[in-house]
Chain A
Amino acid sequence: MKVIFLGTNGWYDTDTGNTICTLINCENYHIVLDAGNGIYKLDRYIQDDLPVYLFLSHFHLDHIEGLHILNKFHFSQGLKIFGQKGTGKVLDTIMRQPFTVPIDMLPFPVEVQELSEGPYKLPFAMECRFLVHAAPTMGYRFDLDGKIIAYCPDTGVCENAVLLAEDADLLISECSHKPGEESPAWPHLNPQDACEIARRAGAKRLALTHFDAGRYTSIQERLDAAASVLDCSEIVVGLDGLVLKL
């Protein structure tokens, strides 16, 4: 199984990368986490006919702005989009003329499923929980090919993030704040927060992504931030194009 970071920025695109999108290629499925501008690279890594599942965390534009290029893909088994309650209405609002191709006019069938908190039995096991952010945001936990992958995008420190990441093989966590920064009014994580969540959850590996574009203006700043965390056994700095093998 491969985890491929297609976009690792928060807020907007810069020379450091595109806005957030992560692809998990497993044996029988392709799992896409959020639809920032990095999503345009999907067809570099999806060249088969396996089904594609897209999980949206929330509707801040840096997580959905890539949706307007979906019509360049040809997913032979269609696309299943999952998100919190209200997802269908949001997608119908933004995926329409004059903005982009309407969702029902894409060159493949699209199915939208709205989620409440809890475990789900899709073709694979998935659990979702609300995180703490300025807009309703879902975090996810997946059981794929015998590996547990947790995805905690925009969030402040919260118990649900720990629960999602419990004993995970990989925690993909946001890292918007610089080391030492925190703000209850703009809930995000700094690298120490992300590490603490991973440590409390017993996650084996932590990958940081969603580096705020206004704060992390160079790759070196990302590396320095990760290096500032002293008590994290295995930490990966997300970069566009990075491939993790699990």
Chain B
Amino acid sequence: MRIGPVIVLLLALCDLVACGSAQSTSSFQSVSGQRMAERFQGPESPACPGVGGVHQVLDTTFTKNPITGKPIYTYVVSASGEPYYFYADNTGKQVTSHSSMSIAPYNGWITA
């Protein structure tokens, strides 16, 4: 499923990508970019200065984890022209979890 680009968001990106730990709790059923914008509005995270702020959704795709069968919605967003990627399940809950980052050797930063 693809949803068109050009939706400007205010979101706490740090909570959505590598360095955040917060997770959404309330659910949403729509997969529209607008709903995602409402869902993830928030202030810039002090944990990742410079990463929050105004972001533009560049692309949205839908995939399904063939092992678990769970759908994964992927969102490509841009902060100051730099793209980031994050994903959530169909309830809007972030799939990624801070605890599992320990497997990565990058102190929370993903570089490869």
Chain A residues close to B by CB (< 8 Å): 10-12, 60-62, 85-86, 89, 116-117, 129-130, 132-137, 154, 157-160, 162, 176-177, 181-186, 196-197, 200, 212, 214
Contact = CB atoms under 8 A, between A and B. Distances in A.
A11 to B, nearest CB: 4
- Considering the complex of A and B, which 6 residue pairs feature the smallest CB-CB distances, nearest first? A134-B110, A186-B104, A11-B112, A183-B103, A158-B63, A185-B96
B105 to A, nearest CB: 5
A157 B95 CA distance: 13
A224 to B, nearest CB: 19
A135 B72 contact: no
Interface of B: 2, 17-18, 58-59, 61, 63-67, 72, 74, 76, 81, 83-85, 87, 95-98, 100-101, 103-106, 110-112
Contacts, number: 95
A210 to B, nearest CB: 9
A132 B72 contact: yes
Contacts of B111: 11, 60-62
Contacts of A212: 105, 112
Nearest to B112: A11
A221 to B, nearest CB: 15
Contacts of B64: 158-159
A181 B105 CA distance: 13
B83 A157 contact: no
Contacts of A157: 65-67
A177 B97 CA distance: 18
A10 B103 contact: no
A186 B97 CA distance: 10
A132 B87 CA distance: 8
A135 B83 contact: yes
Contact of A184 (B66, B84, B97): B97
A136 B112 contact: no
A28 to B, nearest CB: 32
A158 B72 contact: yes
25 contacts: A11-B111, A12-B112, A60-B111, A61-B112, A85-B58, A85-B59, A86-B81, A86-B83, A117-B61, A130-B59, A133-B85, A136-B83, A157-B65, A157-B66, A158-B64, A158-B65, A159-B65, A176-B112, A183-B100, A183-B103, A185-B100, A186-B104, A197-B66, A200-B66, A214-B105
Contact of B61 (A61, A130, A135): A130
Contacts of A86: 58, 81, 83
